[in-house]
Structures are given as structure tokens and as C-alpha cells.
A and B are shown apart, each in its own frame.
Chain A
């Protein structure tokens, strides 16, 4: 894809998918009906305003934020297999959320986002403490993978001990947009401010992509850039996970696809990843809703079905 055309085309795809997600679902609404929005005889106000619209907005925000987080992490770790999931951020959020669900089954479901966000922050802090002040790329990646595996084991352990609470926990752990509405959109909006902040890192990330020595000689404060990029990634993916649960593979695949489409320069890669992430989550949610209505398949399952083969293909190609 021509780099200059890339972003507008992706933006158009996002718009098309949003319109499609307005029209399709267990109760299809023809386009002519949707165009009656705001008129008195509009019959689908709940379905559109309270259900499909907030879900589409959330899919764009969460998909975009998780993908951007993935692009940032891959940028500083310079490993195409890195993503916030690999660093243990998502599993940290998952662990604290699952503990909370099993310890306080009677508590309100509205508290889960806050707990999950706290879990991401704790996982990131633990990672930071373990890798020390001047982390090398390998050290970060390996420690992250080890932490992620440890958290995953803890999640399994907690769920095995409390099989009756599994349903609720599993529902959140698969990553889903079901039952989310404008409340979650409001929760996410402040975090959106971090997106332009991430774009400030475009130049140093481009230099860091050469290699650490070169970047340093060009005047890049490598530890600072690394810290800033990782902190941003933690916040972005933590906020996304908090609202929708960990949506598997999104932070990994979206930056990859974007790199193939638009190249590796971060001025295109970062915004491009955001849009590709939005497209992937919109698509996954749409597929989950229309494949076997009225049953809703969580978007996280759809992304995992799409993502796992891609990940394997990637592994073989890198070898």
C-alpha cells in the first residue's frame, strides 16, 4: 500500500466497519432505517444509541489503544514477538481481577475495571523492579515472559480453587464488548489523551530502531525513551484490558499487519497500528455477533482464532 494513501484508506475501513456494525446483528437494521436517526419514528433507538454505537466506539478505542501499546513495546524491545501480553501486563490485570471476582463474588461488577487497571500497574511495577534501572531488551522480554507465565499459572490456580466463580471470571478473561456501554466509553476517554503523547516518541523510536549505540550517539536518552514508551504502553493496554478484558493477540498482530502495510517508520506505524487495532476489534466483535445470533461470541475468542495461526506463521517465518 502506498504509504501516503495508507492512513486514509485505513480510516475509511474503520468508518465502513462502524456502519456495518450499526446495520448487522441479531436484529438487522437496513441502512434506510438507520438514516432516520433523530426522527420521531425511529424504532431502534435503544439498539443503536445504547448498544451498537457505544460498542463500536469502544471497539475503536480499545482496539486502537491495545494495538498502539503493542507498537510501542515492539519499538523499544525491538522484538516482533513482543506485546503488552508478553510483558505480563494483561495477565497481571487478569490475575488481580480473577482474585477479586473469586474473593468477593457478591461485589458489583462495576469495580472490575479499577481492579484490573491496578493489576496492570502492579505487574508493570514488578517488571520494572526486576529488570533494574538499565534494562536490556532481552532482559525486559525474558523477565516479562516469565512474569506473564507466572501470572497465568496463578490465574489457573485461583480458578481451580473456586470452580463456581469461573463463569464470571472466564467471561471477563476472554475479552468481550458485551454489556459495555457509554459508562465504559467515559472511563476510557481520559486515557485517549495518551495517544498524542505517544506520537511525541516517533523520532527517538525511529532512531532506536537502528540500534542502541547509534541512537545514543544521535542524542537519544535511551533509558528515558524506553521508560516513557513502556509506561505509555502499560497505561494504554491497562485501560483497554480494564474495560474489555484481555483481548488476545491484538497488541501483537495489529502492529505487524501495519508494518507490512505501511512500513516501519513510526510516524506511520503508530497511528496506523491504532487504526488497524480498531479495525480488528470492530471486525471481531461484528463476527462474534452475527455468526450465530442471538448467541454472542466474545470478541476475544474471535481475535484468538484469527491471531493464533498468524502468530504461528510469524514464528516460522522468523526462524
Chain B
């Protein structure tokens, strides 16, 4: 009996040792096919915000971020975890020479923005390229798992993901659900509604809300005029403003505006456009849920 137990212990140790020696090697599927990395990256450069959220979720700090040269675009709670970093320029045209000067051992890029420079990035460091811009809520979570696996933190990330799902369930329980909630981002001359196929729409759905139908073709983002907004007539309107005053502020003076159900019920709210539209990630989604809990508690 004693011997048998010992044998099992030894076996466990051997198995764990084998797993440990392989844990630094990871193979994942990215947008360009199979991505293999046989070390745990220490110097990571990240070219979209959603990947920063994924790294922060497992406590990893990137050395460089394409932050549009504006550190405030990274969520405060993400900043608290990752500490300081070097800006590598805009997300749309990151500076490859700054990336190269950081001597990264992993670059995480967005297939939508950075496919044109994928080969150049690979000359600097192994490049994991995944969807970020225009991704849905579920795609974002899947991408986070891929990032976690690639940096050798699969277990930690999956644990964080389970925690995230539980948190979102808890938030959902505090919210009324079933209300038709519409989120949109307003610029000076354009209101863009985020449908159920957009990131914010996915978060709203996860929290039990209903997304009004804003597009026949199922487009993720729909630019909308005041008349269409009235036709959609959501119970709650939540706006983020990229510019202030925006087109929505101009509408306040129009007679049609006062016909909106959300306006009549005093259910028009402002949230941080950066958090709701640009950030995308588990921490962003949790912040959005907190925003909603606060909004619904106040009214």
C-alpha cells in the first residue's frame, strides 16, 4: 500500500515535470494559421487595446502599446495592473522602428489593421495576429484565451475567464433585463449605433438586455439619423461621445427628439466612449456592466 502510493506520487511528479517542460511551448491558431512559440515571452508589444486587457487579466505587462500616444485610452484599472509602457504610435499606423527598438520577443497584432505589415512585424519578432477591431464579445473572449495560451498562461486566463463569466452573471442579476437598450457612439456629424453583432451589443445581451434591430443585414455598426433613431425607439439610449458637442447634442433642440421613448421616460445616459467602444476586453465588459448597474440603480 505504502509502495503503491509512493509509485503514484512519483508518477504524478514525472507527469507534472513533463508537462512543465512543455508548458513554455505553445501552439495556437491565429488568423494566419498555426502560431508556435517555444518560450515564455518577456517583452511583448501590443498593437490593439483588447490584447492589453487580455494581458492585464493574467498580470502581464507589455513593454510597448500602440496607444495612439494617449495613455488615457487604456482603462485605469488595466493601467494599474500593467504599470508603464512605451508608446509605439497609433493603432492604425504603429511605428515599426520604435517596435524594433524595444527588442520584443512577441508582437500581438490585429488582423484588420495590421495585415499589411504582418511580414515586417515578423522580421522584428514572432507575431500573433488575431481579430480585434470589429470583433464580437465572444470573439474577444476567444482571442483572449489564444493570447493567454501563447504567453504560457492558459490556466490563469481560463480561470480569469470563468471568474469573468460569473461576475457578468452577478451583474445581470442586478439588472432588470428584457429592456431594449441601444448603445451608440456620437461624433460631430455621425451617430453610429452598435448592434447585437458589435462588441457592446454582445455585452448588453450577456447582461440580459435586448438589442433593438437596427439593420436588416445584421451589420455591427449602423450610422443613423434622428428619424431612424425614432423608428428604432429603444427603451434606453446610452451614448458615448467622441466629440462634445456631438450630433446628438444638436438633436436635443429638434421636435423629433422629444418624441423618443427614451427621452420621454428620461432614459438617455452618457457613458465613456473609450471604455464602451475602443477598449474591448474582460475588464472593459465588467466596467460597462458596472456602468449599467449604476445607471439602473439611480433610476
Binding site for B on A (CB under 8 A): 25-27, 44, 46-47, 50-52, 105, 108-110, 163-164, 167-168, 171, 176, 178-179, 181, 183, 289, 292-296, 298
Q: How far is the CA of A163 from the CA of B223 in the complex (A)?
A: 7
Interface centre among A52, A109, A168, A178 (most CB of B within 10 A): A178
B69 sits at the interface (CB 8 A): yes
A27-B98, A50-B123 known; A164 vs B93 contact (CB < 8 Å): no
A26-B97, A108-B115, A294-B69 known; A46 vs B89 contact (CB < 8 Å): no
Contact of B221 among A26, A27, A46, A164 (CB under 8 A): A164
Q: How far is the CA of A50 from the CA of B11 in the complex (A)?
A: 51
Contact of A292 among B69, B112, B123, B192 (CB under 8 A): B69
Q: List 19 A-B contacts (CB under 8 A).
A: A25-B97, A26-B95, A27-B97, A27-B98, A27-B100, A46-B96, A46-B97, A46-B123, A46-B124, A47-B97, A50-B120, A51-B96, A52-B97, A110-B116, A164-B220, A183-B119, A289-B95, A293-B95, A294-B69
Q: How far is the CA of A50 from the CA of B125 in the complex (A)?
A: 13
A51-B100, A163-B190, A296-B89 known; A109 vs B123 contact (CB < 8 Å): no
Are A296 and B190 in contact, CB atoms less than 8 angstroms apart?
A: no
Residues of B within 8 A of A298 (CB): 93
Residues of B within 8 A of A168 (CB): 112-113
Are B98 and A179 in contact, CB atoms less than 8 angstroms apart?
A: no
Q: How far is the CA of A292 from the CA of B123 in the complex (A)?
A: 25
B87 sits at the interface (CB 8 A): yes
Are B116 and A176 in contact, CB atoms less than 8 angstroms apart?
A: no
Q: How far is the CA of A46 from the CA of B107 in the complex (A)?
A: 15
Residues of A within 8 A of B223 (CB): 163
Residues of B within 8 A of A105 (CB): 112
Interface centre among B89, B93, B117, B192 (most CB of A within 10 A): B93
Q: How far is the CA of A108 from the CA of B115 in the complex (A)?
A: 7
B228 sits at the interface (CB 8 A): no
What's the A-B contact tally at a CB cutoff of 8 Å?
81
B134 sits at the interface (CB 8 A): yes
Chain B: minimal CB distance from A231 (Å): 30
Q: Per-position contact with A for B109-138: 1 when CB-CB < 8 Å, else 0?
A: 000110111011001100000000010000
Are A171 and B190 in contact, CB atoms less than 8 angstroms apart?
A: no
**Number of B residues with CB within 8 Å of any CB on chain A:** 31
Residues of A within 8 A of B100 (CB): 27, 44, 46-47, 51
Residues of B within 8 A of A26 (CB): 89, 95, 97-98, 101
Binding site for A on B (CB under 8 A): 68-69, 87-90, 92-98, 100-101, 112-113, 115-117, 119-120, 123-124, 134, 190, 192, 219-221, 223
Residue of A nearest to B190 (CB): A163
Residue of A nearest to B67 (CB): A294
Residues of B within 8 A of A171 (CB): 92-93
Chain B: minimal CB distance from A186 (Å): 13
Q: How far is the CA of A195 from the CA of B247 in the complex (A)?
A: 50
Q: How far is the CA of A93 from the CA of B223 in the complex (A)?
A: 27
Contact of B93 among A27, A44, A50, A296 (CB under 8 A): A296
Residue of B nearest to A50 (CB): B123
| Contacts A46-B96, A295-B93 supplied; 17 other A-B pairs, CB < 8 Å | A26-B98, A26-B101, A27-B100, A44-B100, A46-B124, A47-B96, A47-B97, A47-B101, A50-B96, A50-B123, A51-B120, A167-B92, A167-B113, A176-B93, A181-B119, A294-B69, A298-B93
Are B192 and A163 in contact, CB atoms less than 8 angstroms apart?
A: yes
Chain B: minimal CB distance from A11 (Å): 27
Q: How far is the CA of A292 from the CA of B96 in the complex (A)?
A: 15
Q: How far is the CA of A178 from the CA of B69 in the complex (A)?
A: 17
A108-B115, A164-B220 known; A294 vs B120 contact (CB < 8 Å): no
Q: How far is the CA of A289 from the CA of B120 in the complex (A)?
A: 18
Residues of B within 8 A of A294 (CB): 69, 87-89, 94-95, 98
Chain B: minimal CB distance from A279 (Å): 22
Residues of A within 8 A of B219 (CB): 164
Residues of A within 8 A of B92 (CB): 167, 171
Chain B: minimal CB distance from A38 (Å): 18
Interface centre among A168, A294, A298 (most CB of B within 10 A): A294
Residues of B within 8 A of A292 (CB): 69
Q: How far is the CA of A105 from the CA of B112 in the complex (A)?
A: 8
A46-B124, A51-B100, A164-B220 known; A296 vs B192 contact (CB < 8 Å): no
Residues of A within 8 A of B124 (CB): 46
The 8 closest A-B pairs by CB, nearest first: A294-B89, A109-B116, A294-B95, A179-B117, A46-B100, A27-B101, A294-B98, A47-B97
Residues of B within 8 A of A179 (CB): 93, 96, 116-117, 120
Contact of A295 among B69, B97, B117, B134 (CB under 8 A): B69
Q: How far is the CA of A293 from the CA of B97 in the complex (A)?
A: 10
Are B90 and A295 in contact, CB atoms less than 8 angstroms apart?
A: yes
Are B98 and A178 in contact, CB atoms less than 8 angstroms apart?
A: no
Chain B: minimal CB distance from A167 (Å): 6
Q: How far is the CA of A181 from the CA of B121 in the complex (A)?
A: 12
Residues of A within 8 A of B120 (CB): 50-51, 179, 181
Chain A: minimal CB distance from B105 (Å): 14
Are A164 and B134 in contact, CB atoms less than 8 angstroms apart?
A: yes
Residues of A within 8 A of B95 (CB): 25-26, 289, 293-296
